[in-house]
Amino acid sequence: MTKKYIKRIFDDTLEFVLKSKGAVVVEGPKWCGKSTTCKRYAKETVDLMPLKTRDELILEAKLAPHIFLSTRNKPLLIDEWQHIYFIWDQIKVEVDEASEFGQFILTGSVTDRDIDDKGYERSHTGNGRIIRKRMRTMSIFESGEGNGLVSLSKLKNGEFKIAKCNLSIEDYAFLICRGGWPLAINDDKDIALAQAKDYYEVLVTDDLFSLKSIKLVKDESRARKVLRSYARNVSIAATTQTLIDDCVSDESTFDKETFYKYLNALEYLHVIEELPAWNPNVRSKTAIRTKETRHFTDPSIGAAALGLTPNSLFRNMDTFGLMFESLVVRDIRIYADAINAKVYKYRDSKKREADIVIVFDDGSWALAEVKLGGKEDIDSAAKKLLDIARDIDIEKTGNCSFLMVVTKGQLAYKRDDGVYVVPLGCLKN
């Protein structure tokens, strides 16, 4: 039975882009729902996934690219377009000549830095007429577990009302392991949890070794070690050497060049998306640390790599806390994308951290800490956020919109010191 479509936050983004740009490239991890969403806006689809028709379509696109594009209904969706990467220049020509918005939607689960093993370079970038947008897995607001009573946009504008959500810490453990895969939503829990495990298995047995430009030697055991090492360091600014050392046992070695190939492959497949450091102007002489923080595009990938279950997360609360932080980062990235904001992490030489920095399109910013613990942890996090905020030079960096502690609790409220305490289940864009 076909599942009912669940509206995505990305729907509004795609609608706007099709009204304002000639073409859009929609990138994101496999199974995140790109094709399903984009087909809703296309009048015709060229599906390059089925092997039985792919070769014929590739030949048509290669021999007569203008006819391939111009004779089909618009908006035209080309699904898994990297198989005909050479069509890019012709798409640019079609967009320029027609001077119309919403002509083409291109989707792919592999970044086009990896679409050719012959050194192909595009003669046009597509800047101005062709835009790239990232689609992610589903936030807990989209999947229906969250209620979205606290909006980031409204917080930025000083609008806030006390709110509640009904999610428990047990629910968050399940949501970490299930992930935001559309096929996992509203299913039996065992079936839901299987989706992330299946994704992980396909990744380590096939997808990692399918990239033409990286040419990894197929070694499933090594691939699993890399994913486990990365998962053990999620939400941490771990060095590459730390990850490599974590992979090495008495019986094996792992050279840095090969490890970088794995990291590149994971990035190209949209499996990992590291959180860049925010480098604001500060009043003190405090040095800002610029190392990126390790994150999967969905925390369930890390949970699957470590063989974690919702119950086993409770055996190691440190790991649970890091995975919860990664869940929060995923959701806030989704919400930030929808309002044209960027997400970073703050870390300085005083060992002060803000797990999440949201920089809005007007230059203002917000700091957030993620806490799985109770009142004592929240108090400490709020104090730290206030301390960091006081040190940032707003005349050079922009104004502070708000400070927030994201928790596993059920009540969203504003503290006497002005810091918001908001359960993840209450947030939305």
Q: What is the DSSP string of 290-332?
A: -PPBP-BSSHHHHHHHTT--TTGGGG-HHHHHHHHHHHHHHHH
Position 119 confidence tier, pLDDT thresholds 50, 70, 90: very low
**Number of neighbours of residue 256 by Cβ within 10 angstroms:** 10
- Backbone torsions φ then ψ of 146, nearest 5 degrees: -90, 155
Q: pLDDT band at 98, cuts 50/70/90? A: confident
Q: Find the mean pLDDT for residues 82-101.
A: 91
Closest CA to 182 of 7, 324, 61, 60: 7
Least confident of 81-90, 131-140, 376-385: 81-90
Q: What is the percent of the chain with per-residue pLDDT over 70, rounded to a whole number?
A: 94
- Structural domains in the chain? 9-134 (3.40.50), 150-428 (no CATH)
122 vs 189: CA distance, rounded Å: 46
Q: How many CB atoms lie within 10 A of CB 253?
A: 9
pLDDT tens digits, 319-363 = 999 999 999 999 999 999 999 999 999 999 999 999 999 999 999
Which strand (E) or helix (H) includes residue 368? Answer: strand 365-371
CA 273 to chain centre: 6
Residue 300 has pLDDT above 90, yes or no: yes
What distance in Å separates the CA atoms of residue 213 and residue 386, rounded to the nearest whole number?
47
User: Can you tell me which residue has the tokens 């040419």?
Assistant: 215
Whether 122 has a pLDDT exceeding 50, the answer reads no
**Residue 303's closest CA among 227, 247, 371?**
227
Q: Return d(Cα 413, Cα 422) in angstroms, integer.
A: 7
Cα separation, 405 vs 88, in Å, equals: 44
Query: How many H-runs (helices) and E-runs (strands) does the chain carry?
Result: 15, 14
Cα(95)–Cα(104) distance, integer angstroms: 8
- 229-278 pLDDT per residue, tens: 999 999 999 999 999 998 886 556 788 899 999 999 999 999 999 999 99
Q: If we measure between CA atoms, which residue out of 423, 339, 340, 330 comes closest to residue 154?
A: 339
- Report the 10 Å Cβ neighbour count for 321: 18
